[in-house]
Amino acid sequence: MRRILFTGLLCCSAWLSAEPLTLSRIVSEPSLAGSQPSKPALSPDGQRVTWLAPREDDLDRYDLWQYQLGSGQRTRLVDSTLFEEGELSEEEKARRERQRIYGKGLLEYQWDTQGKALLFPIGGDIWLYRLESGKPQQLTRTEAFETDARFSPKGNYVSFIRQQNLVVIDLRTGQEQSLTVDGKGPLKNGMSEFVAQEEMDRMSGYWWSPDESAIAFLQVDESPVEQVIRNEIFADGIKLTEQRYPYAGRDNASVRVGVVSLDGGAIQWLPGARDNGGYLPRVNWNADGSAVTWQWQSRDQQTLQLWQWRKASQRRSLLLTETSRSWVNLSDDLHFLSTQPGFIWSSERSGFRHLYLMDEQGNLVRQLTEGNWAVDAVEAIDEAGGWVYFSGRRDTPLERHLYRVPLSGGEVQRLSQRAGFHQPVFSDDGSVYLDHFSSTRQPPQLSLHQADGKAIGWIAENAIEGDHPLVRYWSDWTQPQYGTLKADNGMTLHYRLFKPKTRPGQRYPVVVRVYGGPHAQTVRDSWSRHDYFTQYLVQQGFAVFQLDNRGSAARGLAFESEIYQRLGKVEVADQVAGAEYLTSLPWVDPDRIGIYGHSYGGYMTLMSLFTAPESFAAGVSGAPVTDWSLYDTHYTERYLAHPASNAEGYRLSSVFPYVDKLKGQLFVYHGMADDNVLYQNSTKLYKSLQDAGKLYESKDYPGSKHSMRGKTVQLHLMATIEDFLKRRL
């Protein structure tokens, strides 16, 4: 593999005189891990690899960079300072919070189909950047806020949402056309509802047909959703925000699917394509644009149906149904084939997510993958070569690898080689792919490969040598020890332990860093920004322990669904098993084991301190859910069912029946403008603790959202957590 970036010799003296990490270094230097490509992509013409990277003079501002495959040059492709940057709308701020998009400058981009132009949404307007001219062209200049902009499949149009309506611009004529006009108030066209953004990984509400003749879109009517007035508390005042928030057990938005043609005419509302008391999580066109499909999910999420409407017959048909005794997880693994009738589909019907080839009526042709391991996602399909490329966990749940399997059936081949976490991005024709790779020993790298896995060259090697920012700290960087424990039902639990430098005869405190919730995995061989604080705690003399309890991801549906209809029980039991293991280690002080987590991890901290007070001496609970009736429908009811059918499960899953059992030291923090886990969760907890006469510590952050972003907030929060852990452990 040809080295392109970060060449140089390692200075041995740097290894012998490592500097200690500081909180200010962690917070103010996001480049601590070196070159970290963000949103890497291959241009459609196959000539460039592009990614977003922060500027040296402003680490919060991002430019678009390129690596040209022909010349091997790495240069800035688009400078963010060329664009005027307006103020974001409140809706867009919330959307970006749910997308976890932060910073300034160029934060999103899209290539046209020819690889000759780029589209940038900036500050509520849309900009076109043609590579030939090297100058940005502002496509919209209105007081209204335009969002969710994209090129049409052939690059002749740009579509976007303005004032809750779907609009297109013909790039050949410059003419603008509003495809819907009735969006206002609670009625939204082409947009995704709150639970779709927050819980279904669907940030958009419209989809182009392959021939550019029409757009399928969702019309969302939020009027059934309870409108609440939520306080967002800032340093200089309180902002009253009206929000339609679908609390568990309450009404959801009403959603239906329509198709609108660009040549005019009435909107065609597809027969039966409504939520009907459930959800519409996915909409797709087939390969030739002759049919629209939608997935319907029942309110209890135990049934998922794939429906199809064909333009020629104007009729709908049911292609397939998935069912589960707990819940059916969503995926994006529906891929229609273009050279033969049928599609690729993934399902957990065997207990693990695997790939299936279906005919055009939805009948099974053959199962492509099988075994007691999980497919993560379909990455590409090469119909000409007869391959399906996918990422998964066949070798170990702690690593993510790229594999391929013949469309005709046969043996699975592993293409990625190095142990760690591989996130491939394929070219449109499937001939090459980018490998976004990391491990606990290697911060993120980006390399280019042929489809069969053969390396072509580095895009960003990011080797820890020379002037890499980690060199000065690397000799004190602690690698975790991995291992397994058994849950009380015999299931295998994976853990990792970061051990400080110990002295014979001394015992050390341990911080259990926990998330514990579904659809997440903390014990894996990958680089994470969260591990910077872990490394800092280890250098301060703490051991840090992580265990993926039952309910977490990448282990199959049976492992995940152990939490069904009762949260905070088996998860805590598994964390207690982890604490018991820690007490067996001769260098661990059994009286100084603490627990720390954010969001679901904050909830786990509370449940662990309240229901297993003998196992944990102290805990840090960040932005916790305390009462699941205060959280949204789609997430909460997936795991706890409807409150009307599982009232006792909701009661026992909240923290309040156990508050009086608190014995250890508790510290709670929360953002006072959190629109995900509402601040009310913590105020309700504070009152309950006070009523029970329980002492606790708290820090609440004016203006902060759920992710607690911002250098000053992060620095203060980490310093406060460190102070608490040192005092209490």
Query: Inter-axis angle of helices 530-539 and 711-728, to 10 degrees?
Result: 40
- Whether the predicted pLDDT of 14 surpasses 60: no
pLDDT of 8 reads 26
Average pLDDT (609-632) is: 97
Average pLDDT (595-609) is: 98
Dihedral pair phi/psi, residue 42, rounded to 5° = -100, 130
Average pLDDT (323-348) is: 97
How many angstroms separate the first and last alpha carbons of the chain? 48
Average pLDDT (542-567) is: 98
Do the beta carbons of residue 609 and residue 586 sit within 8 Å? no
pLDDT in tens, 245-261: 999 999 999 999 999 99
Query: Inter-axis angle of helices 600-611 and 570-583, to 10 degrees?
Result: 70
The least confident of 65-79, 212-226, 437-451 is 65-79
- Whether the predicted pLDDT of 1 surpasses 60: no
pLDDT of 89 reads 61
Average pLDDT (596-618) is: 98
Do the beta carbons of residue 197 and residue 95 sit within 8 Å? yes
Q: Which residue of the set 439, 599, 608, 621 is catalytic?
A: 599
What span, in angstroms and rounded, lies between the C-alpha atoms of 571 and 594?
16
pLDDT of 104 reads 80
pLDDT of 38 reads 77
Domain ranges of the chain: 479-728
pLDDT of 217 reads 98
Task: Kindly report the three-state secondary structure assignment for every residue of 64-99.
Answer: EEEEECCCCCEEEEECHHHCCCCCCCHHHHHHHHHH
Q: Which residues contact 147 (CB under 8 A, 6 or more apart)?
A: 89, 91, 92, 95, 121, 124, 160, 161, 162
**DSSP assignment string, 578-642:** HHHHHHTSTTEEEEEEEEEEETHHHHHHHHHHHH-TTT-SEEEEES----GGGSBHHHHHHHH--
For residue 487, what pLDDT band results from cuts at 50, 70 and 90?
A: very high
pLDDT of 4 reads 30
Averaged pLDDT score across all residues of the chain:
92
For residue 229, what pLDDT band results from cuts at 50, 70 and 90?
A: confident
Q: Which residue of the set 125, 391, 706, 707 is catalytic?
A: 706
- Whether the predicted pLDDT of 102 surpasses 80: no
pLDDT in tens, 129-176: 999 999 899 999 888 889 999 999 999 999 999 999 999 999 999 999
pLDDT of 123 reads 80
Average pLDDT (356-369) is: 97
User: How many CB atoms are located within 10 Å of the residue 633 CB?
Assistant: 23
Active site residue 716: no
**Distances in whole angstroms, Cα of residue 232 to Cα of each of 89, 602, 704:** 16, 20, 9
pLDDT of 95 reads 61
- Whether the predicted pLDDT of 92 surpasses 80: no
If one compares 720 and 98, the residue with the highest pLDDT of the two is 720
Active site residue 401: no
- Which CATH architecture group holds 479-728? 3-Layer(aba) Sandwich (3.40)
Sign, Cα dihedral of 600, 602, 607, 608:
positive
Do the beta carbons of residue 184 and residue 152 sit within 8 Å? no
For residue 19, what pLDDT band results from cuts at 50, 70 and 90?
A: confident
pLDDT of 87 reads 65
What span, in angstroms and rounded, lies between the C-alpha atoms of 68 and 358?
39
Q: Could you tell me what percent of the chain has a pLDDT over 90?
A: 81
pLDDT in tens, 491-512: 999 999 999 999 999 999 999 9
Sign, Cα dihedral of 511, 535, 550, 329:
positive
**Distances in whole angstroms, Cα of residue 132 to Cα of each of 135, 214, 724:** 8, 30, 57
Q: Which residue of the set 254, 674, 675, 707 is catalytic?
A: 674
pLDDT of 124 reads 84
Structure tokens at 610: 């309240």
Q: Could you tell me what percent of the chain has a pLDDT over 70?
A: 95
Give the residue from 167, 222, 213, 159 showing the smallest Cα distance to 194. 222
